[in-house]
Amino acid sequence: MSDIDVTDQSAIADLEQDLASAILGAPDEAGLEEVRIAALGKKGSVSELLKSLGAMSPDERKVMGPAINGLRDRVAGLITHRRSALKTRALEARLATETVDVTLPVREAAAETGRVHPIAQVMEELTAIFADMGFSVAEGPDIEDDFHNFTALNFPPGHPAREMHDTFFLPPGADGQRKVLRTHTSPVQVRTMQTKTPPIRVICPGRTYRCDSDQTHTPMFHQVEGLVIDKGAHLGHLKWILEEFCKSFFEVEGVKMRFRPSFFPFTEPSMEVDIQCDRSRPGEIRFGEGTDWLEILGCGMVHPNVLRNCGLDPDEYQGFAWGMGIDRIAMLKYGMSDLRAFFEADVRWLSHYGFRPLDFPTLAGGLSA
């Protein structure tokens, strides 16, 4: 400030010109702030001029006061204008580097990217259908003992299902007995009959294990079995339940079913069940129409020996049971050709065949809607 004659208005004009050049030349807001402090800060050039007014005579103050105050106001106005211009330029530069390609597909929300596996979906569908008929869901352990998996179900010693080539046995325990990965969910029926008092109406969905691996078999697969125990249960009840299930599950108005004699150690009489379908279109099966037949499940009246093994009197109670592969009926309903794809964890496959997480199956709203 010692170089500026506070009474020389031309010197003040030169200072204003220098400050205007510095303000307009500031490259960014940080540089502009440095200029503002140098001019209008406590020790800035314009602030020092304002301080000098106190030492002037009244006549000088009348002339220089308006000049110095005008300088301050003009410099402050230039700074404000320049700051606004710098903000606009910074925003334009940011927008230029953060452009959005409006031709890209809209990103799905996080809640929409996940998918429910078809097996889980079909289990929900089964539960909805049978719950409407008054059934509850029963569960049991995947690792079973010989009694619950074989003996209680009337499998005689030496039956092929007890052999290593059909079954996954675990090493013998301290008691010398070998546990087994359950080959069906029938042990859940046994445990239910041992712990519940009839009438019993349950379905038993879950994982099962067998030594199979090809296009329609996997070492681990899913099965659902149903059990009804009562004093007056008979095959007419079983036929109605299976017909209602097939109509609801395949979402058709009606189906024809064919019951063929068969053999299972745990039921007597035993039957295989075929369902009406149309296979005239390559790679497509339609249910409830056509003249073809497709085996879909096995069933029968619970064998008296099974009732006795579970502590029930076959002279007082009787019942029926059925079982089917969940993976198989999922393949039939949703047009999947290879069972192994269910367990390959391919997100592309799951994205195609999976279900949205909030689409719960209901009989009123539609099972697969």
The answer to whether 203 and 127 are in contact (CB under 8 A) is: yes
Which residue type occupies 338?
Answer: D
Residues contacting 235, CB < 8 A, separation 6+: 301, 320
Task: Flag whether 16 is marked binding.
Answer: no
Residues in CB range of 322: below 8 A, 6 or more apart: 225, 226, 238, 241, 242, 273, 297, 298, 299, 300
How far is Cα of residue 199 from the mean position of the Cα atoms in its chain?
37
Check: CB of residue 265 under 8 Å from CB of residue 155.
yes
Distance CA 354, CA 367 (A): 14
Rounded-to-integer distance, Cα 304 and Cα 229, Å: 12
Q: What is the DSSP letter of 116?
A: B
Q: β-strands 143-144, 178-181: how paired?
A: antiparallel
Q: DSSP state, 160?
A: G
Instruction: Please provide residue 230's backbone torsions phi and psi, each rounded to the nearest 5 degrees.
Output: -160, 175
The count of other CB atoms within 10 Å of the CB of residue 38 is 15
- Considering Cα of 28, then 29, then 30, then 36, what sign does the dihedral take? positive
From the list 269, 207, 197, the residue with the least C-alpha distance to 238 is 269
Q: Residue 270: which H helix or E strand, with range?
A: strand 267-278
Mark the binding-site residues, compressed into ranges: 268
Provide the annotated binding site for Mg(2+): 268
